[in-house]
C-alpha cells in the first residue's frame, strides 16, 4: 500500500511540475503578445489620428467655403430669400403648364 502511495506522490509531483512549466510558458506567451500588440498598436493609432485630423480639416474647409455663399443665398430680405424666390417661380411655371 505504501508503494502505491509513493508512486502516486511521484506521479502527482511530476504532473505538478509539468503544469507549473505550462503556466510559466503561458505567462511568457501573454507578455510577448502584449509587447507585440503595444508595438503594433502605436503606428495604427498614429495613422488613425492623422486620418481624423485630415478629415476634420477637410470638413472645416468645406464648411467655411460653403457657409459664405449659402448665407448670401438664404439670407432673408424684405421680399424673402433668394431660394424662396426660385421655388415660387418654379411652382408658378408648373401651375401654368397644367
24-71 pLDDT tens trace: 999 999 999 999 888 888 888 888 899 999 998 888 888 777 766 666
Please determine, for residue 95, whether its predicted confidence score (pLDDT) is greater than 80.
no
The cell 489620428 sits on which residue?
49
Confidence tier at 85 by pLDDT (50, 70, 90) = confident
How far apart CA 9 and CA 77 sit, in angstroms, is: 97
CA distance 17 to 11: 10
- Cell numbers found for residue 93: 411655371
Retrieve residue 61's grid coordinates.
474647409
Query: Which range marks the domain in which residue 88 is found?
Result: 2-97
pTM over 0.85: no
Question: Cell numbers at residue 8, please?
Answer: 502516486
Number of domains observed in the structure of the chain: 1
* pLDDT surpasses 90 at 17: yes
Amino acid at each position: 500500500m505504501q508503494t502505491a502511495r509513493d508512486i502516486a506522490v511521484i506521479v502527482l509531483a511530476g504532473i505538478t511540475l509539468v503544469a507549473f512549466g505550462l503556466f510559466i510558458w503561458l505567462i511568457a506567451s501573454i507578455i510577448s503578445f502584449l509587447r507585440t500588440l503595444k508595438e503594433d498598436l502605436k503606428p495604427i493609432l498614429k495613422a488613425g489620428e492623422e486620418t481624423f485630423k485630415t478629415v476634420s480639416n477637410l470638413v472645416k474647409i468645406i464648411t467655411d467655403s460653403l457657409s459664405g455663399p449659402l448665407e448670401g443665398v438664404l439670407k432673408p430680405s424684405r421680399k424673402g430669400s433668394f431660394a424662396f424666390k426660385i421655388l415660387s417661380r418654379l411652382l408658378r411655371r408648373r401651375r401654368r403648364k397644367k
